Structures are given as structure tokens and as C-alpha cells.
């Protein structure tokens, strides 16, 4: 087995010396006793619990929600680094939106032979969307681009989340918490603000109402209070000042969607839905869904309401489509990709399958449609038995999997039980598309709290950090 | 506003108020147990508390005998009792969670921290020693809830539905309390005015924070019919039926009109009985009958509010 003992890139220290961007913070950190950080951490936990910044675990009793671990040590990015990341993320989202329009209209990219025709058989490809014109040609109004780092200038996009990406509330609440815990640091550094995200989001959502509507009514649609991301839904709705609706609050009449209010029906123009395609309309998709609105899809296709994100974006953020994003950028924008993809093996190709099976212990294997860190194999961390089991799963349906080299994700100092220690991190900035494509200078930084772990998902015990873009 | 949101706000407030009233009943009953000869037995003392809570049948399904400890646990902490303080506070918090985007963050945080604090009592088997402390805590959290919502929420329709919940629930609770107690405390064949009576009636007054008000209004010995007058007809007594209906009609007047007419009619009728009623006449017809009628009328008003605003169908 190939056991490389190479230390991962650390965001703060290179060869024991603080990188420029961290110099002042590292100095502050070394003068701050760990007990003080620990007491700040406890204070944060208390506040998060009181404010109810929690997530639900399916199957647990009512009234018992969990906290996502919050780390008081921020991740710092230089303005120069942020420019690279944000330019790269926005470039991807532009191309992906054009790809989605194309794939549901003239399908030029298929004819150019850059994406295989088999994509039309993909379960997330929605024939219902063929020929439907969405306002502004925007499909992914809100996109979360997962980025990892392996070296000073080595950033890779791990995944594009174009369906109902979550986590932005943690970006906002982590910042609010950090400002409360460490006001002196904010006075000392010029940290780029992120608080205007809800305002930007609302403007974007208003901009994608059907043409001719003067004062569009925007709502946020949630599966309900028992959804794991319910806090975020309520938080964003409140920050935008829009109604938080469930399927049962909406109904269709004629070519319009209405909500049931104490003053009678009120027309709804834009629905920011945090509910998957399959559940939005029992007449069109899953007939057992209690979460959706019967007839919504018909109104949507006829232009009576805007959905954000659009239906059918899943075909573009799937791991088997991911490999084509650089080609999309060249094809639609005529630009070179600013951010790289992680080299990816497609197990549907026999030679790549053979390579992966031969090198399973070095690779990360993911289900094409998996998310949340479920259904993946981290080769170097897996036991003999796990490797053998996964090998059989792969062989039963190779096209269901992709594989990537195990990246040495960068680490960031993190407060754990034993004090400060390096832990692996990733970054999810959010890209908004409406009239134009924009971002706030910040992101959700996820951190694997367990030593050596590369899995940052909150469903797998990952935590969050505030991300500071410093001018 | 969304009908579902209005519904959650209304019930959130009702459940908080219910918890407070339950705490009042528990506290006062426990105090009575300290008065010698106040009751022939634990059952005679604690039975009425179950009656006020409307939970006699549920209790009997779970317990063979009425003992102080069992009743206290049942009314305060038992999840199997849908009207226990535990159940009321859990429901209040679940309703609040469903509308946390529609209430001020202070109001949400207040209810959420209430629920987190409640955990410390939940695990205690020591209510016997700490009942008073517990009841005080519930009452003060309820006061805090009203203060925080009043002081931080926009006084719009959302706030109005919340307030409607408070006063519908309060009117119901005061009427039940008075009915059960009056019925018990006025045995026909006994002389009124003994020491036990005094404690009993002052306890009733204290349970609705009306003891000082009584002294101030009447500055005289405690007479049952005056207690009834204070809790039924006095407009300036915050927990009286008249005061509750005064608030309710004023709130309904401010709600959007189209769906409101039947609510206004039902509320107006109830309000008029209290506003123009006289105690002598109420006694002539029987206080028990009057209160029973009132509880039914108040309940109908609640149902009408539900029908008109909260369960709005695709009309």
C-alpha cells in the first residue's frame, strides 16, 4: 500500500512560520491562552443553543435538536486568494446556467460532442423542462461551490451544488458570533462584511419574477419544521422579510399560485424552494408527496410563477456531469477555467475502472448521486474488509461511481479537546444569479473535527468556522 | 399573513397561558395543604385541581388513587397528560419553532430558553420540596413571554392573533377555576365565614393574582359573592372574564373585516353579558350555570376564530 507521509498544507503555518495573511492573527493566537478560547467556545455554544441555531436529526424526539460544532478560530483568506476563488466560482455558475438552458433547448453541447448523449437518460434530467423558458435564463439562482485547497496556489472544485444548497445561515451566524466573541479582532483587521447576503438574495429573487410584475411577492418554501435545515429556512425568510410557507399553505388556481392568508388568497410570484424536485408537485412527480403543491409544475411551465432554483438543475451538479464543467466553460464562455476540477476517474470506462480497482486503497470513491458524505469510500482510511465490500458494490454497478485521488485537504488550526490542532477544511462560497452573477466575500468553512478525518459534512460530525476575507 | 402562521401564533400563546394557569392551580392547592383542616384528605384537596385542568379521566386511567405526589407529577411533568405544564410548554415551543420567522427573535429566544431551562425541572423528582419555586418559574416565564412579545413585536395581525390566544385561554381558565372552587366552597348546610373559608377564598384570589386587588377594591373581609364579582364583572381586573372579553373584542375590531363578522358577533354577545350583567341576576340564575354557559360560549368563539382565520381553505 502506498502510504505517503506528506503533511498537508496548513492555512496558517508553513514550516512553522505564519503565512503573511496569518501573521498578525497567529501572533494574537499565541498570546491568547487556550482556556480563554475554550471559554469563548462554551459561550458560543450556549448562545447558539439559546438562539436555536440547530439542526434536526431524523427520528429523534421533538424538542431535541443538535448543534453543529462551531470553531472559534477563523479561516483567513487574502483578498488576492478570494478574487481567484470568487472569479472561478462565478465563471462556473455562468457556464452551468448556460449549460442548463442548452440541455433543455437546442442541446448544442451534445451535438458538439463535448457531453455524451447519455446525459438525457440521467434520472435528474427533467423532460418536463424541455422548451420551458425561465426568466433571465437563470436555473441555478443559488449555487454552493465546494472548494478544497492542497497548496499555496492549488485550489480544486470538489462539487457544484445547484439544487437546494444549504449552509449559508452558518456563514452569517458564525460571523455574528465571532463579532460578539472577539470584537477587538474586528477592530484590528478589516474583515470584508457578509451581512448583506439576504438583501442581495432578495433582490436577485425579485429580479427573476416573470416580466411585467411590479412588486413581486417572494416566499421561501420549506418542507417544514422537522426538516434538518429548518433553522436555515426560517432564518433566511426572516432576514429577507418574506413568508416562510409549506406546501399546504399554497394552492393553484388558473395559471397562478396563491398562499392562504388570514385575509384570503394572495398571489405568489417567486418561490425560493428548499424542497427537492421530486416533492414539489404530487401531480407531476412523487404522487405520495405531502410536501408539495398539486398543479405547481403546470403553472411553472406556463410561466405563472418562478421557482428558484429551477426544476431540473440536478442534471448539472451530478458527479458524472462534473467532469464536463471545464469543457462547458470553454464551450459557452470561450474562457479557460479559473479553478480546476479534481482529476476524476469514470468507472463506466473499463480502463479507468481497472485502474481504480487496482488502486482502491489510495482513492476516494463516491456514488454519482450520493450527497452528505454518505455512500463514499475513503481508501486510505478504510479497512481491508471495507475495501473488499466496496469493491463488490462497485462491480455490481460501475457507472454508479466515480473515483478521485485522495487529496491532502489543507488544514486550519482548530480548537479541540487537547487544545489547538490542525484539522482538515473545505470551503463553500455561495454564488447568486439574477440579473447578474454576484457573491458576498465570505463562505461557509466546514471543518472535520476528528483528527485526520477528511469528511467535513455536518451529518458526519463536521463543524463550521467563520471565513474572513481580509483586505 | 399566512393562516397557518396565525394558527401557530394563536396556539403558542394559548399553551403558554395554559402552563401559567396550571402552575397557579398547583401552587395554590399546595399552599392550601398547609392550612390545618383545609381538606378532609389528599383526595379532597387535589381532586379539584384535576377537575379544573379537565383531566380527571386521563388521571384515573393512569392512577388508582389521588395522592398529592401523583397529582403534582401528573399536572406538572407527565408527558402522558396533554394538559400538563410539560405538554403545554412543549407544544408552545413546537408552535413557536414553526413560526420563528414570523415572531421577533427575542420572542423566539425567550421561548426556546424557557424550554432549555425546563429540562432542569424535568429530571427532578423533588417537586415536593420545590413546587413553589417551579410554579414561580413558570409564572415568571409566562410574564416574560407577554412582555417580550409586547415590547419587541410589530403590533400587526401576527401580534393580534398571539394576543387572542392569550385571552381566550385565560378567560377559559378563570371561568373553570371559579366554577370548581365556588361549587366546592359553598356547601349549603355550613356557615360561611370560618377560618378555613377565609384561607380558601384568599387562595382562590391569590391563584389569579387578585388578593391585593380585592383588598384595594373592597377593603373588607372576603365574601364569596364579591370574589365572584371581581373575577367575572370587574373590567379593571386583568384576569376577569370581563377584562378578557374586552381585550378580545378590541383585537377582533382591528382584524381585517371580510372574514370577521361572525367572530365579532359571538364575541360581542359574550362581552355584552359581562359588560351589562349584574351580579344579583347572575346569582339568581345560578353562578354555576352562568360559568358553564360562558365556558361553552368562549369555546365557540375560539372555534369561530379558528374557522374564520386559521384554517382558511382555498376560498
pLDDT tens for each residue of A1-18: 344 446 899 999 998 899
In SS3 terms, chain A reads as: CCCCCCCCCECCEECCEECHHHHHHHHHHHCCCHHHHHHHHHHHHHHHHHHCCEECCCCCCCCCCEECCEEEEEEEEEHHHHHHHHHHHHHHHHHHHHHHHHHCCCCHHHHCCCCCHHHHHCCCCCHHHCCCCCHHHCCCCEEEEEEEEEECCEEEEEEEECCCCCCHHHHHHHHHHHHHHCHHHHHHCCECCCCCHHHHHHHHHHHCCCCCCCCCCEEEECCCCCCCCHHHHHHHHHHHCCEEECHHHEEEECCEEEEEECCEEEEECEEEECCCHHHCCCCCCCCCCCCCCCCHHHHHHCCCCEEECCCCCHHHHCHHHHCCHHHHHHHHHCCCCCCEECCCEECCCHHHHHHHHHCHHHEEEEECCCCCCCCEEEHHHCCHHHHHHHHHHHHHCHHHEEEEECCCCCEEEEEECCEEEEEEEEEECEEEECCCEECCCCCEEEECCCCCCCCCCHHHCCEEEEEEEEC
Cα R_g (chain B), whole angstroms: 19
Per-residue pLDDT of A283-328, as tens digits, reads 888 888 788 999 999 999 999 999 999 999 999 998 889 999 999 9
- Residues whose CB is less than 8 angstroms from the CB of residue B31 and which lie 6 or more positions away in sequence, other chains included: B203, B206
Q: How far is CA A1 from CA A83, A360, A382, B37, B164, in A?
A: 39, 10, 12, 85, 70
Nearest to B112 among A50, A62, A238 (CB): A50
Q: Identify which of B221, B243, B232 has the alpha carbon closest to the alpha carbon of residue B280.
A: B232
Q: Could A264 and B312 be called an inter-chain contact, meaning their C-beta atoms sit closer than 8 Å?
A: yes
Q: What percent of chain B has pLDDT over 70?
A: 90
Q: Where residue B124 falls among pLDDT bands split at 50, 70, 90?
A: low
Q: What percent of chain A has pLDDT over 70?
A: 96
B306–chain A Cβ distance below 8 A for any pair: no
Q: What pLDDT does A58 receive?
A: 62
Residue A418 to chain B, least CA–CA distance (Å):
28
Q: Where residue A342 falls among pLDDT bands split at 50, 70, 90?
A: very high
Nearest to B4 among A49, A230, A246 (CB): A246
Q: Which residues of A touch B4 (CB under 8 A)?
A: 246, 248-249, 260
Q: What pLDDT does B195 receive?
A: 58
Hey, of B4, B5, B165, B304, which one would you mutate to test binding to chain A, going by the most A CBs within 10 A of its CB? B4
Give the sheet arrangement for strand A250-253, strand by strand: A250-253, A256-261, A264-268
Q: What pLDDT does A380 receive?
A: 86
Q: What pLDDT does A63 receive?
A: 64
* Measured distance CA(A373)–CA(B212) in Å, rounded: 63
Q: What pLDDT does A1 receive?
A: 36
A340–chain B Cβ distance below 8 A for any pair: no
Q: Go through chain B and tell me how many residues it has.
A: 315
Cell numbers linked to B214: 380585592
Decide: A357 and A365 in contact? Cβ < 8 Å. no
Question: How confident is the model over A109-123, as a mean pLDDT?
Answer: 94
Q: Where residue A460 falls among pLDDT bands split at 50, 70, 90?
A: confident
Cell numbers linked to A315: 442534471
Q: Is the pLDDT score of B245 beyond 80?
A: yes
* Measured distance CA(B139)–CA(B144) in Å, rounded: 9
Q: What pLDDT does A76 receive?
A: 97
Decide: B58 and B80 in contact? Cβ < 8 Å. yes
Q: Where residue A52 falls among pLDDT bands split at 50, 70, 90?
A: confident
Q: Could A235 and B97 be called an inter-chain contact, meaning their C-beta atoms sit closer than 8 Å?
A: no
Count the Cβ atoms, other than its own, within 10 Å of residue A193: 14
Question: How confident is the model over A152-177, as a mean pLDDT?
Answer: 95
Q: Could A63 and B115 be called an inter-chain contact, meaning their C-beta atoms sit closer than 8 Å?
A: yes
* Long-range contact set of residues B151-158: C-beta below 8 Å, sequence gap at least 24: B151/B106, B152/B104, B152/B106, B152/B107, B153/B103, B153/B104, B153/B107, B154/B104, B156/B1, B157/A262, B157/B1, B157/B6, B157/B255, B157/B256, B158/B1, B158/B5, B158/B6, B158/B9, B158/B102, B158/B103
> Looking at the DSSP assignment, which residues form a beta bridge with residue A402?
A346, A366
| A40, A46, A47, A51: CA torsion to nearest 10 | 160
Q: Is A419 left (phi over 0), alpha (psi -120 to 50) or beta?
A: left
Per-residue pLDDT of B208-226, as tens digits, reads 889 899 999 988 888 888 8
Q: Could A51 and B97 be called an inter-chain contact, meaning their C-beta atoms sit closer than 8 Å?
A: no
Q: Could A51 and B161 be called an inter-chain contact, meaning their C-beta atoms sit closer than 8 Å?
A: no
Q: Could B4 and A230 be called an inter-chain contact, meaning their C-beta atoms sit closer than 8 Å?
A: no
Per-residue pLDDT of A362-388, as tens digits, reads 999 988 876 555 678 888 888 999 999
Question: How confident is the model over B83-91, as a mean pLDDT?
Answer: 95
Q: What pLDDT does A27 receive?
A: 94
Q: Could A234 and B256 be called an inter-chain contact, meaning their C-beta atoms sit closer than 8 Å?
A: no
* Measured distance CA(B308)–CA(A210) in Å, rounded: 33
Cell numbers linked to B304: 369561530
Nearest chain A Cα to B95, which residue?
A225
Q: Which residues of A touch B99 (CB under 8 A)?
A: 244
A258–chain B Cβ distance below 8 A for any pair: yes
Q: Which residues of A touch B105 (CB under 8 A)?
A: 51, 238
Decide: A306 and A122 in contact? Cβ < 8 Å. no
Per-residue pLDDT of B50-61, as tens digits, reads 998 989 999 999
Question: How confident is the model over A122-149, as a mean pLDDT?
Answer: 96
Q: Where residue B40 falls among pLDDT bands split at 50, 70, 90?
A: confident
Cell numbers linked to B245: 372579553
Decide: A219 and A270 in contact? Cβ < 8 Å. yes
Nearest to B314 among A224, A233, A265 (CB): A265
Residue B274 to chain A, least CA–CA distance (Å):
29
Q: How far is CA A264 from CA A249, A259, A272, A304, in A?
A: 12, 8, 22, 19
Hey, of A49, A52, A251, A259, which one would you mutate to test binding to chain B, going by the most B CBs within 10 A of its CB? A52
Q: Is the pLDDT score of B314 beyond 50?
A: no
DSSP symbols for chain B = -BHHHHHHHHHHHHHHHHHHHHHHHHHHHHHHTTSTTS-SSHHHHHHHHHHHHT-HHHHHHH-SS--HHHHHHHHHT-TTSTTSHHHHHHHHHHHHHHTTTTS-HHHHHHHHHHHHHHHHHHT-S-HHHHHHHHHHHHHHHHHHHHHHHHHHS-SSHHHHHHHHHHHHHHHHHHHHHHHHHHHHH--TTS-S--HHHHHHHHHHHHHTT-HHHHHHHH-S---HHHHHHHHHT-TTSTTSHHHHHHHHHHHHHHS-STTTHHHHHHHHHHHHHHHH--HHHHHHH-HHHHHHHHHHHHHHHHHHHIIIIIT----
| Mean predicted lDDT score pLDDT of chain B | 88
Phi, psi of A448 (to 5 degrees): -80, 115
Which range, A108-117, A278-287, B273-282, has the best average confidence (pLDDT)? A108-117
DSSP symbols for B179-240 = HHHHHHH--TTS-S--HHHHHHHHHHHHHTT-HHHHHHHH-S---HHHHHHHHHT-TTSTTS
Q: Which residues of A touch B314 (CB under 8 A)?
A: 251, 253, 258, 260, 265
Question: How confident is the model over A144-159, as a mean pLDDT?
Answer: 95
B98–chain A Cβ distance below 8 A for any pair: yes
Q: Which residues of A touch B161 (CB under 8 A)?
A: 262
Q: How far is CA A465 from CA A173, A425, A448, A456, B78, in A?
A: 10, 9, 11, 11, 40
Q: Where are the domains of chain A?
A: 13-342+407-470
Hey, of B10, B100, B115, which one would you mutate to test binding to chain A, going by the most A CBs within 10 A of its CB? B100
Question: How confident is the model over B283-299, as a mean pLDDT?
Answer: 92
Cell numbers linked to A142: 443559488
* Measured distance CA(B302)–CA(B172) in Å, rounded: 10
* Measured distance CA(A93)–CA(A206) in Å, rounded: 19
Q: Is the pLDDT score of B192 beyond 60?
A: no
A66–chain B Cβ distance below 8 A for any pair: no
Q: What pLDDT does A373 receive?
A: 59
Decide: A243 and A237 in contact? Cβ < 8 Å. yes
B28–chain A Cβ distance below 8 A for any pair: no
Q: Could A263 and B161 be called an inter-chain contact, meaning their C-beta atoms sit closer than 8 Å?
A: no
Q: What pLDDT does B189 receive?
A: 46
Per-residue pLDDT of A223-273, as tens digits, reads 998 888 899 999 999 999 999 999 999 999 999 999 999 888 999 999 999
Nearest to B314 among A49, A234, A251 (CB): A251
Q: Is the pLDDT score of B190 beyond 60?
A: no
**Residue the block writes with cell 400538563:** B84
Amino acid at each position: 500500500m502506498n502510504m505517503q507521509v506528506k503533511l498537508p498544507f496548513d492555512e496558517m503555518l508553513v514550516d512553522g512560520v505564519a503565512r503573511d495573511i496569518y501573521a498578525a492573527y497567529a501572533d494574537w493566537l499565541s498570546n491568547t491562552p487556550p482556556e480563554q478560547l475554550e471559554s469563548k467556545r462554551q459561550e458560543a455554544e450556549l448562545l447558539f443553543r439559546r438562539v436555536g441555531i440547530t439542526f434536526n436529526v431524523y427520528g429523534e424526539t421533538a424538542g431535541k435538536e443538535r448543534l453543529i460544532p462551531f470553531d472559534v478560530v477563523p479561516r483567513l483568506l487574502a483578498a488576492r486568494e478570494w478574487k481567484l476563488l470568487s472569479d472561478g466560482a462565478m465563471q462556473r455558475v455562468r457556464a452551468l446556467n448556460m449549460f442548463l438552458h442548452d440541455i433543455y433547448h437546442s442541446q448544442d453541447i451534445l451535438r458538439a460532442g463535448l457531453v455524451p448523449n447519455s446525459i438525457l437518460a440521467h434520472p435528474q434530467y427533467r423532460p418536463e423542462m424541455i422548451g420551458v423558458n425561465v426568466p433571465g435564463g437563470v436555473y441555478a439562482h443559488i449555487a454552493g461551490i465546494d472548494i478544497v485547497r492542497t497548496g499555496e496556489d492549488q485550489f480544486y472544485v470538489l462539487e457544484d451544488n445547484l439544487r437546494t444548497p444549504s449552509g449559508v445561515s452558518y456563514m452569517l451566524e458564525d460571523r455574528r458570533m465571532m463579532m460578539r466573541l472577539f470584537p477587538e479582532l474586528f477592530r484590528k483587521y478589516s474583515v470584508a462584511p457578509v451581512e448583506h447576503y439576504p438583501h442581495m438574495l432578495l433582490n436577485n429573487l425579485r429580479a427573476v419574477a416573470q416580466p411585467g410584475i411590479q412588486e413581486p411577492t417572494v416566499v421561501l418554501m420549506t418542507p417544514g419544521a422537522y426538516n434538518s435545515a429548518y433553522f436555515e429556512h426560517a432564518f433566511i425568510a426572516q432576514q429577507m422579510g418574506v413568508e416562510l410557507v409549506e406546501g399546504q399553505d399554497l394552492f393553484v388556481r388558473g395559471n397562478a399560485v396563491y398562499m392562504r392568508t388570514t385575509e384570503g388568497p394572495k398571489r405568489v410570484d417567486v418561490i425560493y424552494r428548499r424542497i427537492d424536485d421530486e416533492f414539489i408537485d404530487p401531480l407531476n412527480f412523487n404522487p405520495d408527496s405531502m410536501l408539495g403543491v398539486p398543479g405547481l409544475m403546470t403553472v411553472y411551465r406556463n410561466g405563472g410563477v418562478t421557482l428558484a432554483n429551477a426544476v431540473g438543475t440536478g442534471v448539472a451538479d451530478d458527479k458524472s456531469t462534473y467532469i464536463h464543467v471545464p469543457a462547458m466553460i470553454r464551450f459557452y464562455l470561450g474562457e479557460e477555467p479559473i479553478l480546476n476540477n479534481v482529476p476524476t476517474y469514470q468507472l463506466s470506462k473499463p480502463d479507468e475502472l481497472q485502474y481504480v480497482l487496482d488502486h482502491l486503497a489510495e482513492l476516494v470513491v463516491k456514488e454519482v448521486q450520493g450527497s452528505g458524505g454518505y455512500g463514499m469510500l475513503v481508501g486510505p482510511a478504510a479497512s481491508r474488509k471495507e475495501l473488499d465490500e466496496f469493491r463488490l458494490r462497485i462491480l455490481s454497478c460501475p457507472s454508479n461511481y466515480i473515483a478521485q485521488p485522495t487529496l491532502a485537504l489543507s488544514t486550519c488550526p482548530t480548537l479541540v479537546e487537547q487544545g489547538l490542532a490542525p484539522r482538515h477544511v473545505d470551503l463553500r462560497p455561495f454564488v447568486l444569479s439574477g440579473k447578474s452573477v454576484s457573491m458576498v466575500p465570505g463562505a461557509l468553512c466546514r471543518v472535520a473535527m476528528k483528527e485526520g478525518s477528511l469528511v467535513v459534512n455536518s451529518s458526519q460530525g463536521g463543524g463550521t468556522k467563520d471565513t474572513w476575507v481580509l483586505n | 399573513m399566512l393562516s397557518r402562521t396565525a394558527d401557530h401564533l394563536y396556539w403558542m400563546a394559548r399553551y403558554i397561558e395554559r402552563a401559567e394557569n396550571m402552575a397557579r392551580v398547583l401552587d395554590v392547592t399546595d399552599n392550601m395543604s398547609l392550612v390545618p383542616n383545609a381538606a378532609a384528605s389528599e383526595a379532597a384537596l387535589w381532586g379539584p385541581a384535576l377537575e379544573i385542568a379537565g383531566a380527571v379521566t386521563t388521571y384515573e386511567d393512569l392512577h388508582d388513587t389521588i395522592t398529592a405526589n401523583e397529582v403534582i407529577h401528573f399536572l406538572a411533568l407527565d408527558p402522558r397528560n396533554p394538559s400538563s405544564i410539560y405538554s403545554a410548554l412543549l407544544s408552545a415551543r413546537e408552535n413557536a419553532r414553526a413560526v420563528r420567522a414570523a415572531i421577533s427573535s427575542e420572542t423566539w429566544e425567550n421561548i426556546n430558553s424557557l424550554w432549555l431551562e425546563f429540562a432542569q425541572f424535568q429530571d427532578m423528582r423533588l417537586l415536593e420540596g420545590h413546587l413553589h419555586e417551579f410554579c414561580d418559574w413558570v409564572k415568571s416565564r409566562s410574564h416574560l413571554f407577554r412582555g417580550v412579545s409586547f415590547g419587541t413585536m410589530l403590533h400587526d395581525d401576527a401580534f393580534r392573533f398571539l394576543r387572542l390566544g392569550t385571552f381566550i385561554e385565560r378567560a377559559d381558565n378563570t371561568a373553570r377555576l371559579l366554577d370548581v372552587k365556588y361549587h366546592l366552597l359553598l356547601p349549603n348546610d355550613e356557615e360561611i365565614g370560618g377560618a378555613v373559608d377565609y384561607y380558601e377564598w384568599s387562595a382562590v384570589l391569590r391563584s389569579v393574582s387578585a388578593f391585593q386587588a380585592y383588598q384595594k377594591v373592597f377593603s373588607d373581609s372576603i365574601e364569596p359573592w364579591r370574589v365572584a364579582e371581581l373575577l367575572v364583572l370587574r373590567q379593571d381586573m386583568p384576569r376577569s372574564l370581563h377584562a378578557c372579553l374586552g381585550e378580545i373584542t378590541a383585537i377582533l375590531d382591528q382584524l381585517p373585516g371580510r372574514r370577521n363578522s361572525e367572530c365579532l358577533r359571538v364575541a360581542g354577545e359574550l362581552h355584552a353579558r359581562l359588560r351589562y350583567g349584574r351580579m344579583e341576576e347572575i346569582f339568581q340564575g345560578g353562578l354555576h350555570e352562568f360559568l358553564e354557559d360562558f365556558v361553552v360560549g368562549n369555546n365557540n368563539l375560539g372555534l369561530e376564530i379558528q374557522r374564520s382565520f386559521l384554517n382558511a381553505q382555498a376560498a
